[in-house]
Structure 1
Amino acid sequence: MNRTLVLLLGSSALAATAGAAAAQELNLICSADQAICERLVSEFEADHDIDVNMVRLSSGEAYAKVRAEARNPQTDLWWGGTGDPHLQAAADDLTMEYRSPMMEELQPWALEQAETSGYRTIGVYSGALGWGYNTEILSEKGIEPPKCWADLLDPALEGEIQIADPNSSGTAYTALATLVQLMGEDEAFDFQKKLDANVSQYTKSGSAPVKAAARGETGVGIVFMHDAVAQAEEGFPVEVVAPCEGTGYEIGSMSMIAGAQNEEAAKTFYDWVLGAEIQSMMPEAGSYQIPSNKNAKAPEAAPDLSEVKLIDYDFAEYGSTERRSELLSRWDAEVGGVGN
């Protein structure tokens, strides 16, 4: 064999090897807290020969990105964040059907999420909506800690409440949908218009309000209860509240993107992250949600949902494209776009 042929064959082999290596990538959107996202990526890369390109986005931002890239998907997998935008993505055919072999290990509520979406998304964790308040701030100002939704309208709380924008945040959209189901639509918007007088900021991220409360920048942050628990566990003076009238909850979800460039890598991550061992590890990264794997160990500090008055949250209706768009448009017109 002459030298030129050997070099050509060698170059072809190297190119093939490089191509194979390049194919072992995963483009991931993570809609949980940054620390949780980074922990998942580091653990996965340690166990697999797959490089993960991760971007952290709130649920609403993630949905917008997936929708914008529909003709040329740049994302393979979307993990975490509230289930409503995942269901909307499924209804819009932006995600693909996948039935993981891990499904038999999952909680009924995780499987119900899959069934509702035509198996285009699945539940990975659950958590109830509530808020966290800074005990020191409220005590110093002589403000009675809010225990019910109605208490949040107390004039003494003017400028002391933060909640996210429901356009970008799945947490805030869950709050919006919860109030509508709890009070009725017109009553819920009347409540939010009154609440607006006490809101100092509509944040981009769903967990940001309670982090601000923990740092002493605001008195109350309306968030998922597990996000408030995370701040309390870190030693901040945060008390966690489940609203007395009742509250909604999330089924944090995961979806594979239709037309994913790295489908096999996405399936590998999908199956891996549903495992009991991985889900039991999450508290180490500050995650206090209820895991979807029946064999995973729930965090000791996680809110006991059996002690929380939960509404019968209609994921199918409030995760639909039409209903979600209606509520967000009305919120923009009557709450978010007024005086802000």
Structure 2
Amino acid sequence: MKKILAAAAIIAAMLPAAAQAEGSLNLICAADVAVCELLKNRFEKDSGIGVNMVRLSSGETYAKIRAEAANPKTDIWWAGTGDPHLQAAQEGLTLEYKSPLLDQLQDWAKRQAEQSGYRTVGVYAGALGWGYNADLLAQKKLKAPGCWADLADPSFKGEIQMANPNSSGTAYTALASLVQIMGEDKAFEYLAKLNANVSQYTKSGSAPVKAAARGETTVGIVFMHDAVTMTAEGFPVKAVAPCEGTGYEIGSMSIVKGARNLDNAKKFYDWALKPEIQSLMKDAKSFQIPSNKNAELPPQAPRFEDIKLIDYDFKKFGEPATRKALLERWDREIGANAN
């Protein structure tokens, strides 16, 4: 027995440090599945920690974390729009944590952390817009849509997809952006006109432009980087920044309060903020703007300086009361009348 134990000790000493690491991590990833898999595999390789990863949309993740507050099943929530992360922070569902890498981050990422009492942090940013299938547009003799107003034109009847803002952070960002651009009542008047042109409200925020890429619809309202991803994959998709102005997301990361694997969650948190890790996103054809100033910015990434951005009020539209009221009105006036 002593010989066996001694042999086991020698073998363990010869293994790489990462392979000797113990424990696991329960991760919810609210980004595209290709990015989620890349992060999962790389973190397991770098740390030796086993990752149990689930891919959910932002709205679904918030609902799950809220439902499990008394007995959390998740350790860390990576990605997805910042509004539900801020809402979770306000409701005390996430944990305060200041990463030692905080000083390396862009100002917008630091503000996200400050506004949440350091219960969330920005990991990437991306502007809202849409992508259209240029081949379909030409076949149907439609005018290229450059403004929000264009999408409400009757010529686009049945030609548009967007996500449901109850499940999708992308669609909630669109809803909140339009309210800030037009005022709430005018925004809902616009959404009622747009509704006549929407063939489907999807669960996932990126699904509409994937459908456009496949030729199943002409226009998908999405974050612009999701449209760029389709272009990078060889589809005839053109990304558009609306002429009237648009909102943007700060994709965020939060540690769940009561995390069972807290130390590993903090390890992942710090690891995900490293510039070399954020520079990997382009390998999964993900073209957001990374939050670490030292990370490599993909050349295809839509630049904020080229887009008419609104001064998006993340604090107000991340508040539970504001979000609840807007979603209830959307359900009542738009969702109930969906095609």
**Matching residue of 2:142:** 143
Q: CA shift at 1:275, angstroms?
A: 0.2
Determine helix, strand or coil for the equivalent of 1:28. Answer: strand
- Whole-Å Cα distance in 2 between the matches of residues 143 and 100 of structure 1? 49
Partner of 2:176: 177
Q: Secondary structure at the match of 1:167?
A: coil
Other-structure match for 1:161:
160
Cα distance, 1:339 vs. partner? 4.3
Give yes or no for contact 2:281–2:287 (8 Å, CA) kept in 1.
yes
2:123 corresponds to = 124
* Secondary structure at the counterpart of residue 167 of structure 2: coil
- In 2, distance between residues paired with 1:233 and 1:241? 15
Q: Which residue does the alignment assign to 1:322? A: 321
Counterpart in the other structure of 1:212? 211
Structure 1 residues not aligned, in runs of 5+? 10-20
Distance across 1 between alignment mates of 2:264 and 2:157? 49
Code of the aligned partner of 1:60: G
Q: Residue 15 of structure 2 corresponds to which residue in structure 1?
A: none
Task: Output the CA distance in 2 between the equivalents of 1:97 and 1:328.
Answer: 28
Deviation at 1:154, TM superposition (A): 1.2
Give the aligned partner of residue 71 of structure 1: 70
Q: Output one character per residue of 1:305-332: Cα deviation in whole Å (capped at 9) or x when no partner.
A: 1010000000000000000000000000
Cα distance, 1:304 vs. partner? 1.4
Match for 2:94: what amino acid? T
Aligned counterparts of 1:196 and 1:154: Cα–Cα separation in 2: 11
- Compared with structure 1, are the counterparts of its residues 39 and 253 closer, same or farther at alpha carbon in structure 2 (3 Å cutoff)? same
Instruction: Report the alpha carbon displacement of residue 160 of structure 1 after superposing the two structures with TM.
Output: 0.4
Residue 37, structure 1, aligned to residue 36, structure 2:
yes
User: Does 2:187 correspond to 1:188?
Assistant: yes
Give a deviation string over 1:63-89, Cα, whole Å, max 9, x none: 000000000000000000000000000
Partner of 1:103: 102
The answer to whether the 8 A contact 2:195-2:338 is kept is no
CA drift of 1:49 comes to 1.8
1:146-191 deviations in Å (ceiling 9; x for gaps): 0000000111110000000000000000000000000000000010
Letter in 2 for 1:161: I
Alignment partners' CA distance in 1, 2:70 and 2:22: 20
CA distance in 2, matches of 1:120, 1:75: 15
CA contact (8 A) 2:128 2:246 kept: yes
Correspondences of 1:87-102 after superposition (within 5 Å)? 87-102=86-101
Q: What letter corresponds to residue 84 of structure 1 in structure 2? A: D
Pair 143,103 (structure 1): closer, same or farther in 2 beyond 3 Å: same
CA contact (8 A) 2:59 2:169 kept: yes
In the alignment, which residue of structure 2 is the partner of 1:16? none
Instruction: Classify the secondary structure of the residue corresponding to 2:194.
Output: helix
SS of equivalent to 1:163: strand
- What is the CA–CA distance in structure 1 between the aligned matches of 2:36 and 2:192, rounded to whole Å? 34
Distance apart, 1:115 and its partner CA: 0.3
- TM-score w.r.t. length of structure 2: 0.94
Contact 2:35–2:281 (CA under 8 A) maintained in structure 1 = yes
In structure 1, C-alpha distance between the alignment counterparts of 2:146 and 2:54, rounded to whole Å: 36
Instruction: Quote how far apart the aligned CAs of 1:286 are.
Output: 1.1
Which portions of structure 1, spanning 4 or more consecutive aligned residues, are displaced by more than 4 angstroms?
none
For the residue of structure 1 that corresponds to 2:72, the secondary structure is: coil
How far apart, in 1, do the equivalents of 2:245 and 2:118 lie? Answer: 29
CA contact 2:21–2:49 (8 Å) conserved in 1: no
Partner of 1:226: 225
Measured against aligned partners, the alpha-carbon deviations of 1:244-277 in whole angstroms (never above 9, x if no partner) come to 0000000000000000000000000000010000
Q: How does 1:249-328 map to 2 (within 5 A)?
A: 249-328=248-327
> What fraction of aligned residue pairs are identical, expressed as a percent?
66
1:241 to 2:240 alignment: yes
The alignment partner of 1:96 has SS state of coil
Report if aligned partners of 1:276, 1:296 keep a CA contact under 8 Å in 2.
yes
TM-score, normalization by structure 1: 0.93
Letter paired with 2:190: F
Tell me the residue number matched to 2:45.
46
